[in-house]
Each structure stands twice: as C-alpha cells, then as structure tokens.
Structure 1
Amino acid sequence: MDCPAASNDEDGALSESFGDSCPDMSHEIDRDFTASSDNTDLMVLAEAASQVTPEPVTVSQETQTDDCPTMGPLKFLLCTTDGHAGTTQVTHAQQCHKVASTEGQWQRHSGFEGYSSLRNSEKALQSLCNVTPILFGILLNLLPDQRYRVVEMTKENKLALFLMKLKLGISLTALGTLFGVSKATASRAFKSVLDVLSVAMKDFVFVPHKGAIRDTMPEAFKVHHPRCTFIIDCTEIRTEVPSNVEQQHFLFSHYKGAYTLKFLIAIIPNGMIAFVSKLYGGRHSDSYITGNSGFLSHVKPGDEILSDKGFPHIVTSIEGKGAVIVMPPFSSGGQLSEEDMENTYKIAEVRIHVERAIQRLKVFNILTNRVPISLIPNMDKVINVCAAIVNLQSPIIAPK
C-alpha cells in the first residue's frame, strides 16, 4: 500500500517532513491488513500515525532594509508566500517636511528678506525699526521716488535699513549682509535717507506758541507750575576713543569719565520735544551748552523753565529775559528744610517727563552704543531725525 499523502495549506511542507517514516508504516499496514471495513482501515492509519515523531519545521529568514528619507505612517503592508519563502514589504507614506519642503501647503521661507519680511508683522517692524506700519508709511512718503529704472535697493528697503541702523545700532557691514548688498551700498543707502529725512523732518521739532502750550498742559503742571513753558536737561552719548589728542581733549567728559557727545533737550509740559541743540564735546558744561545752543532765544517774558541742578550759570541770562528758572534747592552741607524738601518733590514730579523723553530717544540704540568716530559728523542729523520720530509716536503723557 502506498503511503498516503498528507495535505496541508502550506504547499506540501507537512508531507515532506514525514516522508522518511512512510516505508515502516506501510510494512505494518500490510501485515495487519484484513478485508475489514473502511472504519477499521482508518483506525489502523490513525494508530500508526500517532506513533510517528514529526521532524521540526525549519524556516530560513533573510532581511533587507532600504534607506527611507522620512518617518511616518505605513502606506501599505504586503505579505506573499513563494514555496517555503515568506516575503513582507513595508512602504512608508510619502510626507512633506513642514519646514524644509518647498512644495504644498507647508511651504515656508527662512531668512531675512528686507522690508518684505517686516511689512506683514507690526511686532517685527516695531522691534527692528521702532516705528508702526503707519509711521513707516509716513516716512516712506517723505523719500523721493527712485530716479533710475535699475536700482540696487528699493525705497522700502533703504528706509528699513536706515531705521534698523537707528534702532539696533549695528554696523553697516551687518546691515549689508542682512539686505544682501555690500557695505558700500548699505552706507550710501543710510546716508541718502539720513540727508533727506533730516531736511524733511526739521520742522517736526519746534516750539509751539504759548497758547498751544497752555491748552495742552497736563493737570500735574497746572497745579504747581502753571507758567511752565520748558523742562530742560542735557544728556550724553559715548563715543569710541579718538586717536587724535585734540579730539580726545574735546570729547572727554569728567562727569562720565569717558569720551562723549553732549546735547541739550527741551520739552514742553505735554511731553513733546520742542528743542534739540547741536552736539558738543563732553568737556562742556550744561550751562555752557544752554547759553550757546540758541535755546535762550525761545525764552519769553513770564516763562518758567524747570531744570535740574546742572544749570546755575544761566540763571542771570534767563532772569534778564523776564523769565525764571526753577531748580531743586541746593543743600549747604546740611539737611534740607521741610519746605525745600517739598519743593524738590514737586519739581521732580514734573521733571521726570523730560527724562522719559530722553529714554524714548535712547530706545534708538545708535544713541546708546559707542558712536564710531567716522559717524560723528552725521550725528547732529541723527539726533534731529530720532527726535522727530519720537514726536510722531504716541504722546509721552497720555491726554485725559
């Protein structure tokens, strides 16, 4: 009797494993075989099969991996059987990288692209240029249209570069790199915008007539200083160390212990900057600058000027114009009287506004970083433009 062929779903693998036991099993069946019924045959076959020890099934495994550029969900899983070989193929779904890809809805741009990177972000424009979009538009309208068809920089980029120089105080080399132009081109752009705006904005810093000063005076002034016209102070800007001995003597400030530029600023009671002097070397006193800057020509009879203690030598000049200057009282080596203390507090309460105006000016880091010696000839224009921009911003003292 032939050995019965066992069948299995795995393409004959089970019958091949039992092939070596078939001769012995056939001999036993022949010896015990009788003309019995089919049921007897089945019982004999079952008993014989139960005495056979199956050989273990062996599987050969191979793995191949290919580089995958992305990680993500599986697109499909494919399993096949070829004889005794099983194959599994895994394919990742194609994905678009959210940052690096330049296709599809995840497209993004990186890097600074001049004004186009600022125009849609008020926060970025304020942070990098210290102006609002409306103020940027006002300044842009003050610049002339481009005269040449082919230009190195657009008018918008020139203004953005100029304002970033004022606000950030970084070098023209760095600005040229940001705008994709040479240092020489960046320098020309800065200088051209400075020249235009310093002329176009010269009337943005002015002394109003007395009626306007009174009409816009905050309540804090009306109570204690109703005749106040100006609050004045001097401030200094540090410079690089000059190589020339004469320049060193001219710029050295004993008060700061450094080389500085110094100027007088005067505001009216509502916080508007009304006067900015030209720049002087740090060696000059506050009184000297006030007396020689042209400020006294704006003082009229009946005016009251508030200042700190640095202006004692201009008292005579101001009183000669029929005006008065109010300064904190000096202590003669002893303690101030109660009345002097009260007057000091009253003056300080309103004088703080001129310090706030100076703080607004010095938001422009070009006035807080050390000024390069090469930039000093242009600093008068820089100061005037910065003061004009401050006057175009929201009021220092909010109107009630």
Structure 2
Amino acid sequence: MSAAKIRENVKKDEFVYYTGLTAKQFKAFYNFLVPQENPFKMSKRIKSAENLTMEDQLLLVTMKLRQNFDFAHLGNLFGMTQQDASSLIKNWIQYMFHRCGSVSIWPHRDIIISEMPPTFREEFPNTLVIIDGTEIKIQRPSSMTRQSQCYSDYKSCNTLKGLVGIDPRGSIIFASMLFSGAISDKEITRQSGFLSLLQELKECGKINDGDGVMVDKGFHISEEIEKLGLKLNTSPFARSGSQMSKADIKLTEKIARHRVHVERAISRVKNFKILSQRIDLALFTCINRIWFVCCFVTNFMGYLIK
C-alpha cells in the first residue's frame, strides 16, 4: 500500500494497523504536536522531506514506531532516501520527546477520583496510581560489564527495564526512563524519581496524606511509601507454615483484579513493534525517547477501561 492510500484511508482497522491510532486519534495527536501558532520546524534540513506535509511526516514516524518497518521500505513509500527517512524519524523523535515531556500527565486527585470506575472507587477510593515494571529485550552488548548489568534473570536475556504508572482508568500518568534489566523493582522505584514525584505532588496539593499506591507484592517499598504519608495497597504475604486468611485471599483477589489493567496498559505500549522486537544497539542513543513517546501516545487511544 502506498503512503497516499494509507493517508486517505479512514477505515479504523487498517489505519490502526499502521499507526496504532484511529484517523481521528491521529489527527488529535498531530494537532497536539504541531500547534498552528508555533509549528514544528526541522532542526536539520532534509531535502527529500520538503515535499511531505507535516502530517505525512508524522505518519511516517508513527508507522516506524508501530510496525518497525525498515528505513528503506519507509523511504520507498514516502518517496525519499533511506538515509533521509532515518534522519527524519530521529528529528521527529527528539521533538516529540521534548513536546510530550513538557506536559504534566498526572491529574489532580479530585479528577482521578471523579473518573474512577465504580468498582474501583468502592474498593480503593483513595488509590490514585497503579505501578508495575516491564522489560524490553535488547541485543547483547559487546562489553561483559554491560552484559551483566543488563541481564535479566526473569527474561533470561539482556533487557532494559522501565516503570509505568496508570490511573484507575488505565491512562499512563508516569513513565520512567529505562534502566539496566538487572535492577530490582524497589531500586527502579527509587532511581526513576517516582518517590520524589510523589513528594512533589503532595507539596503542590495534587495528592493528599492517606492516598494510595497499588503495586505487585514484588515491590518492597512499604517503608518508603509510609514515610511519604501514603498507603501501599499490595497483596499480603502468607506467613511461613500457615495458610492465608479468607480476608487476605479476598484482598489479594481484589488487587489482582485491578492490577491487571497496568499490564494491559503496558501491552498497549509494547504493541509498538519498535519496542516489542529486540532493540538494535544502533537505537540506544534514542531508545529512552522512543520509549517515552510510545507510552505517551497510548493516552490518545482513549480510556483503557470503559
């Protein structure tokens, strides 16, 4: 299919296949990225891209993110050289990272609570965020030190790890940078700035004492969360040699029922094949930007929980 046909195609399934967004969502994302009063300008002149509209340039970039087509194929589709397609994408990714990063994506607690699904509000009325870590596979680094730092026992390969936080309706409101795959859940929570962000949000009134954070029981951060005056919602541990009580089992089931949505949100991000396929070392210089942009784009897909 040619770029013109993709651009003109408003059928939901086909447009989503190429970009991850419906035509309407893509337009909204474009309007956010390229405001009319301050349009985006290339930092580097790319001659063969001059015949492309800004909307077509964004289409090319989102096709790379979603389907991870090689630069030669994208160049053929959009009438440009392989090298220019690569340069165009890198320029856009840098701009998108700064544009998306300039927006606060953590709403005020009153907004989060007012938009909670009824079941969540009934069971965890003051829990504002659900967090979880995820890993993306990378090519094995040549350095033995790097290999050991990035080796994930969980995945049995070299990975990078990120921390994601969603609100109760499944929108991503926190996305960390990527760390070596060997990092623990507790350590990434600290190093990612998540705990510092919670402190800042308290100071500016976006969250209050007693508000909750929901995590998997692998996150041993109860002490850190309590120091902030917040509540940690996590599955209780069974005591050695004894069974869990009925109340603990019920609580575990409740948390699992809601925690699954952060896994669904992460799956949305990983549906961008540039992240789900093994990351080439050549992309290391911009992988953090790509990761963050893909996380941010999912918020234009609509609520995860209807």
Which bracket does the TM-score occupy, shorter chain normalised? 0.7 to 0.9
Larger Rg: 1
CA distance in 1, matches of 2:154, 2:214: 22
What is the aligned partner in structure 1 of residue 6 from structure 2? 117
What is the aligned partner in structure 2 of residue 320 from structure 1? 227
Measured at CA, do residues 214 and 259 of structure 1 come closer, stay the same or move farther in structure 2, by a change above 3 Å?
A: same
Q: Deviations over 1:79-106 (max 9, x none)?
A: xxxxxxxxxxxxxxxxxxxxxxxxxxxx
CA distance in 2, matches of 1:161, 1:188: 12
Counterpart amino acid of residue 170 in structure 1: F
Aligned pair 1:152/2:48, yes or no? yes
TM-superposed deviation, 1:386 = 1.3
TM-superposed deviation, 1:362 = 1.4
What is the aligned partner in structure 2 of residue 279 from structure 1? 178
Report 1 or 2 for greater relative contact order, CA contacts < 8 Å, sequence distance ≥ 6: 2
Measured at CA, do residues 146 and 351 of structure 1 come closer, stay the same or move farther in structure 2, by a change above 3 Å?
A: closer
What is the aligned partner in structure 1 of residue 153 from structure 2? 254
TM-superposed deviation, 1:203 = 4.3
Aligned pair 1:196/2:95, yes or no? yes
TM-superposed deviation, 1:336 = 2.3
1:174 aligned to 73, 91, 98, which one? 73
TM-score by length of 2: 0.86
1:376 aligned to 280, 284, 295, which one? 284
TM-superposed deviation, 1:340 = 1.6
Measured at CA, do residues 150 and 239 of structure 1 come closer, stay the same or move farther in structure 2, by a change above 3 Å?
A: closer
What is the aligned partner in structure 1 of residue 108 from structure 2? 209
Preserved contact between residue 170 and residue 265 of structure 2 (Cα < 8 Å): yes
CA distance in 2, matches of 1:346, 1:294: 28
Q: Which runs of 5+ in 2 are unaligned?
A: 203-208
Identical residues among aligned pairs (%): 35
Preserved contact between residue 106 and residue 174 of structure 2 (Cα < 8 Å): yes
Q: Deviations over 1:297-352 (max 9, x none)?
A: 2334212111102211x211111111121211223355322222111101111111
1:161 aligned to 15, 37, 60, which one? 60
CA distance in 2, matches of 1:157, 1:241: 35
CA distance in 1, matches of 2:166, 2:40: 34
Measured at CA, do residues 115 and 200 of structure 1 come closer, stay the same or move farther in structure 2, by a change above 3 Å?
A: farther
Aligned pair 1:307/2:206, yes or no? no
What is the aligned partner in structure 2 of residue 367 from structure 1? 275
Measured at CA, do residues 203 and 214 of structure 1 come closer, stay the same or move farther in structure 2, by a change above 3 Å?
A: farther
1:131 aligned to 21, 40, 62, which one? 21
CA distance in 1, matches of 2:8, 2:94: 24
Counterpart amino acid of residue 299 in structure 2: N
Measured at CA, do residues 317 and 163 of structure 1 come closer, stay the same or move farther in structure 2, by a change above 3 Å?
A: same
Measured at CA, do residues 236 and 294 of structure 1 come closer, stay the same or move farther in structure 2, by a change above 3 Å?
A: same
| Corresponding residue pairs, total | 286
Preserved contact between residue 307 and residue 327 of structure 1 (Cα < 8 Å): yes
TM-superposed deviation, 1:150 = 8.9
CA distance in 2, matches of 1:172, 1:159: 14
What is the aligned partner in structure 2 of residue 336 from structure 1? 244
Q: Which runs of 5+ in 1 are unaligned?
A: 1-111
SS in 1 for 2:285: helix
Counterpart amino acid of residue 283 in structure 2: L
CA distance in 2, matches of 1:204, 1:173: 33
Preserved contact between residue 115 and residue 160 of structure 1 (Cα < 8 Å): no
TM-superposed deviation, 1:371 = 0.6
Preserved contact between residue 360 and residue 390 of structure 1 (Cα < 8 Å): yes
Mean alpha-carbon deviation: is it higher for 192-201 or for 137-146? Answer: 137-146
RMSD between superposed Cα atoms in Å:
2.1
TM-superposed deviation, 1:146 = 6.5
Counterpart amino acid of residue 316 in structure 1: E
SS in 2 for 1:275: strand
Measured at CA, do residues 178 and 334 of structure 1 come closer, stay the same or move farther in structure 2, by a change above 3 Å?
A: farther
What is the aligned partner in structure 1 of residue 304 from structure 2? 396
